[in-house]
Amino acid sequence: MKQKNHKVWKYGFLLFLFCIPAIYLLRAYPYLSISKPVRPDILIVEGWLSEDMLTKAKEEFANNRYRLLITTGFPYWNGVQMGQDGKIVFKTSQQVNAVTDSLYSISLIIRGSQCEGYYAHYKLFADTVMIADRYSSKQKETFSQQVKLSSPPDSIVIEFDNDAYTPHSDRDLFIYGIGINGHYMPANSNKVFLYGSREGKFVFKRHLNRSNASDAASFLTLAGVTDSLVIAVETNHKIRSKTYTSALDVKQWLEKNNMDKGRAVTIFTMGPHARRSFLSYKKAFGNSAELGVIACQDTRIASDNWYRTLRGWKEIIYETAGVLYISVVAI
């Protein structure tokens, strides 16, 4: 009898352990994608958001009477990611001196991701002279080629022309920088311009910046938000987590500009990242501001389909770990 009771308790305990994560997973997406708006005052927009989400942030700012919009983010340490067909143009005039033999050594630091069996393909030009027509690889590599030109090139152009994606993979091109006769230019610079591809033509999108905070601010001002109402707060260090560090820097900026009293701060972020952002700002600000959060719908996954893709599982698990970290570890 005792042995039977022992087995019942054992199986009951195992069932209990199984039910806890199962119940959580059923409620994970709405739990993580918290929306808790407060009175419109200061809108914090996380700079890593996609252009679609930044457009929604602009609409939120325009449709409500916020007095200030702050973008947050870090310097680009991993180059420029081209997520769709287009080109990047490095303006090299005034950067390179003429050489007597007319030979210019052009180098490109690049990598790509794979989708449907192919890596990102690119063409490399010095002005209109094609230097390379090749596929990237998974590993970051430096491609170099000598080319004879009558004068220093005004621009180096990289065209990305085979974008593709599936629910499980995405073909992107990552560009880190170029070199001309030993002179290096990083991709994240205001001398670099991004063009998209539309109906076989290249359409200017924006010049690039050194951080996603500045990129987001530029996008929002080009979208119509008044320049004087947009502030980019760039974070160059890390304490415990990037989101938490960004929150500390925003708080410090508000204090330096005498805007830390009686404030209502709303964080605009993406879906399942919302609870982690809210907890990070709550920990950084304490009771010094009224805090809210708006979770913009994640275009890649939703509450009723996230479990169908590997990306969905990765995102939910990653954000759950982030919430646990900021709640328990990062004290």
Average pLDDT along the chain: 87
Q: What pLDDT, in 10s, does the model give residues 254-292? A: 999 998 888 999 999 999 999 999 999 999 999 899 999
Nearest to 218 by CA among 254, 240, 192, 237: 192
Identify the pLDDT of residue 19: 47
Q: Quick: pLDDT tens for 211-243.
A: 889 989 989 998 999 999 999 999 988 877 899
| % residues pLDDT > 90 (the chain) | 58
The secondary element (H helix, E strand) that includes residue 314 is: helix 310-324
Check residue 73 and give its pLDDT: 93
Confidence of residue 310 (pLDDT cuts 50, 70, 90): confident
Beta-strand relationship, 114-115 and 289-296:
unpaired
Q: Are 34 and 293 in contact (CB under 8 A)?
A: yes
pLDDT tens digits, 165-192: 887 889 999 999 999 998 999 998 888 9
Q: What count of Cα atoms within 13 Å lies in the side-chain half-sphere of residue 105? A: 8
Phi, psi of 246 (to 5 degrees): -60, -40
| DSSP code string of 195-239 | EEEETTEEEEEEE--SBHHHHHHHHHHHTT--GGGEEEEE--S-B
Segment 199-211, tens digit of pLDDT:
889 999 888 888 8
Say if residue 11's pLDDT is above 60. no
Residue 24 has pLDDT above 60, yes or no: no
Give yes or no for residue 8 having a pLDDT over 50.
no
As a whole number of angstroms, the distance between CA 60 and CA 3 comes to 63
**pLDDT of residue 305 exceeding 60:** yes
pLDDT of residue 210: 82
pLDDT above 70: percentage of residues in the chain: 91
Amino acid 292: pLDDT: 96
The three-state secondary structure class of 35 is: coil
How many C-beta atoms lie closer than 10 Å to residue 23's C-beta?
A: 10
Per-residue model confidence (pLDDT) at position 331: 52
Domains and CATH numbers, the chain: 33-75+211-329 (3.40.50), 80-207 (2.60.60.40)
105 versus 21: the higher-pLDDT residue is 105
Contacts of residue 177, defined as CB under 8 A and 6 or more positions apart, other chains included, come to 79, 108, 109, 184, 185, 186, 187
Average pLDDT, stretch 298-320? 79
CB 103 within 8 A of CB 207: no
What are the C-alpha distances in Å from 284 to residues 36, 75, 247, 255, 270?
17, 21, 6, 13, 20
